Homo-oligomer: A and B are copies of this chain.
């Protein structure tokens, strides 16, 4: 080793010892011809005192030094109680510059308080960005979280298995990344969207308890906060029921949050999909605050107000919202329109007991009189209303509820409100899936809400294909603070049931055989009952680090559009690479 100690480990007990440190010049102060250098390594910071001006002169920020000297006590009054090494300093007798640094594109030292830096320049110089406290902590935390996960799962006798990443198109519905196969010109591998089929094959193979922290790939339009490659904690178990998967996963979640010293109380709450939609207008409700949606369809059954003569009428309360200026209330209309709604009706409950806003006067006197009690309002509150199609109206109110929570400061970043969402429908109309931006797999009128391998709850095993709209899936999603961390299901393990599901989804036998014939084949040979779950690790880490983007928890993230400002990938290839890869070859005729 080039050093005898790490910088952050020095304490008063080392006083009098001669030590050698290595690290980076974090900051430097000069005082009376003496240079005081904060020397930083991965463990922390130690103050180095250099009395020789000639030695100290060339040292600039982020130079790499090897410093030998004696550990001394800082002069009285110069201690730094904010620094674990704040009692001591290293009085340098020998300073070697291991490497120099050019002037920096942005400041490395200074932790969270430093000037905000543009993301593009941070990513281009990610190797400097990672020296900063926030990013450095984030990637270290990921490592600790992975360790915590593995400790739990190895303790439960899970087997970590690597599944292939050069494989066949998977049926998740998103676009695959493709890889030309040079030795099979005209044929392509696909990068996996998840190890779903392989983990099910491992169950057929008798592995019984599988996990993997797996790299997955989806070629999506990188809206918002997606990465082309992401990491998933992937788990599958045989001979289990929903309770077993949930119990195991709660153990994992507890261990993960323990890494940030948060005690998660288990068992975690559960909510049915139907309740989540009714009360929160979302299948991933943020339970850090209340403000449940109020269903008012009954209440307005005989309303004179045409807008409320609808399939559904509902409301959400904004405490104190009556004092919003007109401009703000207008902005809510804009907000709603951007979500595809015509607007967002509202009623103000004035302090004097009167009702304000354009809607109130359209209501009957009885309706007006009972309104405050209906929505649970106090004077000074505001209630937003949506009416029309149940699903769309609830979604709008659910979004309004979260927006209210944000404006009222109810989204406490230090609170973690988990819930399992269970009993989701097995199928949804394919038209709904397409309308909400998902991909409908298959050509049928119905598509799977989870995926095609999710089993029906046992009580729907006989009827899920004759009454697909009523069937509930044997599935469970885990939600934290309004974001979905992951989900899973008890799978179909019988070939006959799998075929019936494909049929409902309009996947014909030929397609089924073509896409995942190998799974159907495997089901012929004694597939055990099995189920599992997958967690999006980037999302989990984002919660644990309380950062705003998943890019903050990835060592080398892509920016928008899947571009890497650091390596400048992707890049053009040479004609020779193209020719060798066989990109332009016709597929070989399939041998009979």
A→B interface (CB under 8 Å): 1-3, 22, 24, 40-42, 62-64, 98-102, 104, 125-131, 136, 139-140, 142-143, 146-147, 150, 154, 158-169, 175-184, 186-191, 197-198, 201-202, 204-209, 215, 217, 219, 221-222, 228-229, 231, 238-241, 244, 493-494, 518, 521-529, 554-556, 558, 561-564, 566-573, 577, 580-581, 583, 587
Kindly report which residue of chain B lies nearest to residue A129, judged by CB atoms: B205
A526 is contacted by which of B101, B139, B166 (Cβ under 8 Å)?
B101
A128 x B525 contact (CB < 8 A): yes
Give Cα distance in the complex from A231 to B164, angstroms: 11
- Contact partners of A198 in chain B: CB under 8 A: 555-556
> In the complex, which residues of chain B have a beta carbon less than 8 angstroms from the beta carbon of A528?
22, 24, 64, 98-99
Query: In the complex, how many angstroms separate the beta carbon of A110 from the nearest chain B beta carbon?
Result: 15
Looking at A129, A197, A201, the one whose CB has the most chain B CB atoms below 10 A away is A201
Contacts of A207 in B (CB 8 A): 42, 130, 136, 139
Give the distance to chain B from A291, nearest Cβ to Cβ, in Å.
38
A254, B387: Cα distance in complex, Å: 68
Q: What would 30 A/B residue contacts be, using CB atoms closer than 8 Å?
A: A1-B240, A24-B528, A41-B206, A41-B239, A98-B528, A98-B529, A99-B523, A99-B528, A99-B529, A130-B205, A131-B206, A136-B205, A136-B207, A139-B161, A146-B160, A166-B228, A166-B562, A169-B571, A175-B580, A177-B179, A178-B581, A181-B562, A183-B221, A184-B563, A184-B570, A187-B571, A188-B571, A188-B573, A202-B555, A518-B566
Smallest CB gap from A167: residue in B: B569
Question: Separation in Å of the A522 CB from the closest CB of chain B?
Answer: 5
Given the interface pairs A99-B526, A183-B222, the reply to whether A229 lies near B165 with Cβ below 8 Å is yes
With contact pairs A102-B524, A525-B101, A570-B187 given, residues A3 and B205 touching in the complex (Cβ less than 8 Å): no
Chain B residue numbers with a CB within 8 Å of A240 are 1-2
Chain multiplicity (copies): 2
Across the interface, which residues of B come within 8 angstroms of A205, CB to CB? 126-131, 136
Cα(A587)–Cα(B570), bound, Å: 11
User: Is B206 in contact with A24, judged by CB distance below 8 angstroms?
Assistant: yes
CB-CB < 8 A to A131: which residues of B? 205-206
Cβ of A521: which chain B residues have Cβ within 8 Å of it?
Answer: 125
Question: Residue on B with the closest CB to A102?
Answer: B524
Please name the residue on chain B nearest to A130 by beta carbon.
Answer: B205
Q: Chain B residues with Cβ under 8 A from A231's Cβ? A: 162
Which of A101, A140, A556 has the largest number of chain B CB atoms within 10 A?
A556
Report A406 CB to chain B, min CB distance, Å. 31
CB of A219, distance to nearest CB on chain B (Å): 6
- Most chain B CB atoms below 10 A, which of A1, A142, A158: A1
CA separation between A573 and B167, bound complex, in Å? 13
B168 touches A567 (CB 8 A): yes
Given contacts A41-B206, A221-B183, contact A527 B191 (CB under 8 A): no
CA distance A577 to B187 in the complex (A): 12
Contacts A64-B529, A99-B493, A184-B563 known; 9 new A-B pairs at CB < 8 A: A1-B241, A102-B524, A104-B525, A128-B204, A131-B205, A143-B158, A167-B567, A518-B566, A583-B583
A231 and B554 alpha carbons, distance in the complex (Å): 21
- Is the pair B64, A527 in contact by a Cβ cutoff of 8 Å? yes
**Could you tell me the distance in whole angstroms from the C-beta of A194 to the nearest C-beta in chain B?**
14
Query: Chain B nearest CB: distance from A84 CB in Å?
Result: 16
Nearest CB in chain B: distance from A243 CB, A? 8
A240 nearest CB neighbor, chain B only: B1
CB contact under 8 A between A22 and B178, given known A168-B571, A568-B518: no
For A159, what are the chain B residues with a Cβ–Cβ distance below 8 Å?
139-140, 143
Query: Whole-angstrom distance between the alpha carbons of A583 and B179 in the complex?
Result: 10
B22 and A555: CB pair below 8 A? no
Residues of B close to A527: CB separation below 8 A:
64, 99
Q: Return the 3 tightest CB-CB contacts between A and B, nearest first.
A: A130-B205, A101-B526, A181-B570
The CA-CA distance from A131 to B571 in the complex, in Å, is 44
Write out the residue numbers on chain B whose beta carbons fall within 8 Å of the beta carbon of A130: 202, 205-207
Closest Cβ of chain B to A168, distance in Å, is 4
> How far, in angstroms, from A207 to B197 measured CA to CA in the complex?
36
Query: In whole Å, how far is A130's beta carbon from the nearest beta carbon of chain B?
Result: 3
Chain B nearest CB from A54 CB (Å) reads 21
Smallest Cβ-Cβ distance to A41: which chain B residue: B208
Residue of B nearest to A204 (CB): B127
In the assembly, what is the distance between CA of A568 and CA of B190, in Å? 12
Contacts of A127 in B (CB 8 A): 201-202, 204-205, 522, 525
Q: Could you tell me if B99 and A555 are in contact, using CB atoms closer than 8 angstroms?
A: no
CA A143 to CA B161, docked complex, whole Å: 7
Q: Which residue of B lies closest to A180 (CB)?
A: B178
A168 in contact with B494 (CB, 8 Å): no
A524 to B64 alpha-carbon distance, docked (Å): 11
On whether the beta carbons of A100 and B140 are closer than 8 Å, the reply is no
Cβ-neighbour of A164 out of B169, B176, B529, B564 (below 8 A): B564
B188 touches A570 (CB 8 A): yes
CB distance from A123 to the nearest CB of B (A): 11
CB distance from A131 to the nearest CB of B (A): 4
| Among candidates B3, B165, B556, residue contacting A215 with C-beta atoms closer than 8 Å | B165
Let me know if B64 and A183 touch, CB within 8 A: no
Q: How far, in Å, is A391 (CB) from chain B's closest CB?
A: 30
- Closest beta carbon of chain B to A142's beta carbon, Å: 8
